[in-house]
Structure 1
């Protein structure tokens, strides 16, 4: 029997003013409660209650001590309840990194997770695949959605497949049928800066070499959504992530054509530390794996 347990029994009895009611609230027998109060009085060297046929009444010392003990017991109960929620993965913090190819599956996983664990603080950032795994190892991320790569020190599962897609303004559909159309050779290409997405841009460069394309003008941007807006504004064309961009475009303004070709596709995986024990992370992984499995059917 700890001191906080003795204080809790005292507070419940002090508030109830009745041994039978207090014992019922505590889930113990009345004789056990009587022993606990007697033990606390022995420790303090002061009587806490006057006992009579009329009932149980706090002494002057007991009333003063109750005012001191109530906040402590309330706080202890709050901390205990929060600890149980943390142990069950119901509260805490979760940091997620993702690449554009994993946007849809990651979003679905977050929605499903949020419905079950609304009190978890979640942060998620669009980070290149090359940067995510070092951040995961350094505990700056808890989960990474990145391009599949050799990482034997981490656990992973494949969550989606992707390939390059050609995106162009719908208003140019009359002169552009595909990336092989002659008009494309004279249009600006809106591309992500290599430092932002080196793996993706490597695939774009392989496409250009395969098709024999040498862009007349290239505009380099920092974000995929900027690419979409610029193409929609008629400022050029772009090569983008097929799976993610298809769900984002305004089809009245943009056309998306998947591109089939050698070495132009890739897989995206969800990564986590093999030694991970944080309940909040383990709960997310369970939900995300289920979402990924249904996503690939």
Structure 2
């Protein structure tokens, strides 16, 4: 026979009451089965826990020691049960999230992260900056549970939900002829008007889908772009544009970087959009994931309504 939690509870009741009848009444069982269970417990432990006489029950030294350990075990079991139930409700645990560099520039994702931390303070959020390709790889190998990225093609094991549109814009030096006198006077620019420009783009190793979208926009506009520089970081691209080295095309969220030496002009091309998606494994049904998805969708919807 193996030791069970009921043996601990029976022993603790007798040890606290030092009376079999009262302990049996508290436990809701009759006295004979209780006495038998205590006897079985002593046999399993190979130690006498209680001294019984006609007039009293007392703990032996072994009983005193076992009482302390039995109480600690039950406390730990109760903690484990409470913790597991909290995890099942999505109130505790760990959640590892990958996100692109630009995901935190727009308001929706930072607000969702802040709200999640506020509503679920016992959940540890691990945030990691990864490009889209790195996030997909991390999701496949279960290094992260959630990715916030710009998606084009996903493997079958992953699914996504669009959070918000992040349109692509032309980033030009502030003194460029296409830059309006005031941002409020800006009108969409036909990408064909950029045919004679020199471009700064993401290197292929940057792992971003924006590079492919850039080429698609140029192809749809009927020209092959002249590339003067390939870089890894969007901030570098904006800096080079400000220096007059060329122009670039980036998501409008980068305008929050507030570089005064450049202007951001919307593009009229239907393909000039780069939607932000939340991506996760199809078979992941964890409560924590459900909680985060609900908050992300809620914040994205609230922001969309506020901009109408």
Q: Secondary structure at the residue paired with 1:227?
A: helix
Q: Secondary structure at the residue paired with 2:257?
A: coil
Once the two structures are TM-superposed, the CA of residue 200 in structure 1 deviates from its matched residue by 0.5
Q: Secondary structure at the residue paired with 1:260?
A: coil
Q: C-alpha distance in 2, partners of 1:68/1:98?
A: 46
Once the two structures are TM-superposed, the CA of residue 96 in structure 1 deviates from its matched residue by 2.2
Q: Secondary structure at the residue paired with 1:277?
A: coil
Given that 2:195 and 2:223 are in contact with CA atoms closer than 8 Å, whether structure 1 keeps it comes out as no
Change (3 A) 1:193 1:59: same
Given that 2:134 and 2:207 are in contact with CA atoms closer than 8 Å, whether structure 1 keeps it comes out as no
More divergent stretch after superposition (149-158 vs 63-72) = 149-158
Change (3 A) 1:59 1:157: same
1:222 corresponds to which residue? 232
1:6 corresponds to which residue? 7
Once the two structures are TM-superposed, the CA of residue 44 in structure 1 deviates from its matched residue by 1.0
Change (3 A) 1:3 1:107: same
Q: Secondary structure at the residue paired with 1:113?
A: helix
Q: Tell me the TM-score normalized by structure 1.
A: 0.72
1:284 corresponds to which residue? 292
- 1:226-241 to 2 correspondences below 5 Å: 226-228=236-238, 237-241=247-251
2:267 corresponds to which residue? 259
1:192 corresponds to which residue? 202
Q: C-alpha distance in 2, partners of 1:185/1:163?
A: 20
Give the counterpart of 1:123 among 121, 126, 130: 126
- 1:261-276 to 2 correspondences below 5 Å: 261-276=269-284
Given that 1:98 and 1:106 are in contact with CA atoms closer than 8 Å, whether structure 2 keeps it comes out as no
1:160 corresponds to which residue? 164
Q: CA RMSD in A?
A: 4.1
- Structure 2 stretches lacking a partner, 5+ long: 181-188
- Structure 1 stretches lacking a partner, 5+ long: none
1:112 corresponds to which residue? 115
- 1:167-182 to 2 correspondences below 5 Å: 167-168=171-172, 172-173=174-175, 177=179
Q: C-alpha distance in 1, partners of 2:225/2:141?
A: 40
1:62 corresponds to which residue? 63
- 1:124-163 to 2 correspondences below 5 Å: 124-149=127-152, 151=154, 153-163=157-167
Once the two structures are TM-superposed, the CA of residue 285 in structure 1 deviates from its matched residue by 1.9
Change (3 A) 1:64 1:199: closer
Q: Tell me the TM-score normalized by structure 2.
A: 0.70
Change (3 A) 1:48 1:33: farther
